[in-house]
Structures are given as structure tokens and as C-alpha cells.
Amino acid sequence: LGAGGNGVVYRVRDRKIGRDLALKLLSDGEETLVVREAHALTALESAHVLRVFNAGIHGDVPFIATDIAAMGSTEDQIVAGIGVPPELAVRWVRQALVGLDYCHRMNVLHRDLTPGNIFLNSPDHALIGDFGIATNLDVDGTAPSAGNQRCRAPEGFRGRLTTRSELFSAGATLWRLLTGSWPYNATNE
């Protein structure tokens, strides 16, 4: 289905539950939520979180198996230099924020909110997904920095991320959806 900086995603058939799933094989060497607390991901059940069916390590390969979003991601809907209609952009980011709020209440920080990680079941239904670099918040309410630098909050470049950092990422995501470009240039170095 696709590939990114953190792994490769395949469409697979789970014969036990009789449905097709997206199976992401993670390539990132850093300790991730999927490695430490797979049950936290499978417990995330919200109308605006892409359902995680299984997560863990097989052999030495960490993986996450999720639902498949019928329309792909919001990134797939962007017309370069133009974006998407404002009413769609606002709807999708608003729904992603509902999903993020739920994750935060479950002590999970996504750390990579981008248009490519907001998925669509229909033009009216957005869900956050791709929890490949998600992590639990520390006791002080922070987490190590990670994720796409084009959407990362300033404090994440030399400090730690918080739930407020993800609000910044949501704003950068909204900008990209509305304009078809990123609010600023950054590299992942």
C-alpha cells in the first residue's frame, strides 16, 4: 500500500478474522510504543482513530496491523499548490483533533500528525492512523521528539514534545491541506 520513513505497508488478509488489513512493518530502530505496549494501541477505540487489530514483534520485526481506509489519506486528496476545499480541510483536521484528544487521554502521543497520517473512510469521516512512532507520555507529560519536521512544533527540534506540540502539528497539517504546500521548509536531518 505504501512506504515511508518508518516502514513499509502491505495489504494482507487475516484469515482468522476474515478481513483485509494494512500491515505496517516498522524499520525504525528506536523504541516505539508498538514494542513496549502493543496492548495500548489495540485498546485505542474511537470513531476518529484508525482501528489497530494487532501490534507487536514477529521475530525481530515490529509490526502494526490496522483497518484499511477506503479513500487513503488526506495527503492523497491534495492538489499541489491548491490544497483541498476549506470545508473538507477543516472537517478532517477537526476530526483528527477528536482522535488525538482520545489518544492523549489514553496517555499516547502520536508524534507524527501529518496529512499522510489522517485517513479517510469517506469525505465526511477522517481518522488518525500510522502509530509507528507513537509513544506513551512520561510522568512529566512529555515525550522524546520524533516525526516529520515539516509539521513538528518548535520545541521538538531541540526539546521534548507535549500534547500541545500536536496542536501545532494539527495547525501545520491544516495549512498544508488548505494551500497544498508546507508552512515552512525543513529536512529530516
pLDDT digits (tens, 9 = 90+) for 141-153: 999 888 888 889 8
Q: What is the model's pLDDT at position 43?
A: 79
Rounded-to-integer distance, Cα 153 and Cα 149, Å: 8
Other beta carbons within 10 Å of 156: 22
Q: Find the catalytic residue in 101, 112, 124, 140.
A: 112
Poorest-confidence range of 1-15, 96-110, 134-148?
1-15
What SS3 class is residue 126? strand
Q: Is the pLDDT of residue 189 over 60?
A: no
More confident residue, 130 or 188: 130
Poorest-confidence range of 32-46, 54-68, 75-89, 142-156?
32-46
Q: Is the pLDDT of residue 82 over 50?
A: yes
Give the number of C-alpha atoms closer than 13 A to the C-alpha of residue 170, restricted to the C-beta side.
20
Q: Is 112 a catalytic residue?
A: yes
Confidence of residue 94 (pLDDT cuts 50, 70, 90): very high
Q: Is the pLDDT of residue 136 over 70?
A: yes
Amino acid at 52: V
Q: Is the pLDDT of residue 167 over 80?
A: yes
pLDDT digits (tens, 9 = 90+) for 116-126: 999 999 999 99
Q: Is the pLDDT of residue 100 over 60?
A: yes
Residue 59 CB contacts under 8 Å (≥ 6 apart), including other chains: none
Q: At what angle do helices 163-179 and 86-105 cross, to 10 degrees?
A: 160
**Cα Rg of the chain (Å, integer):** 16
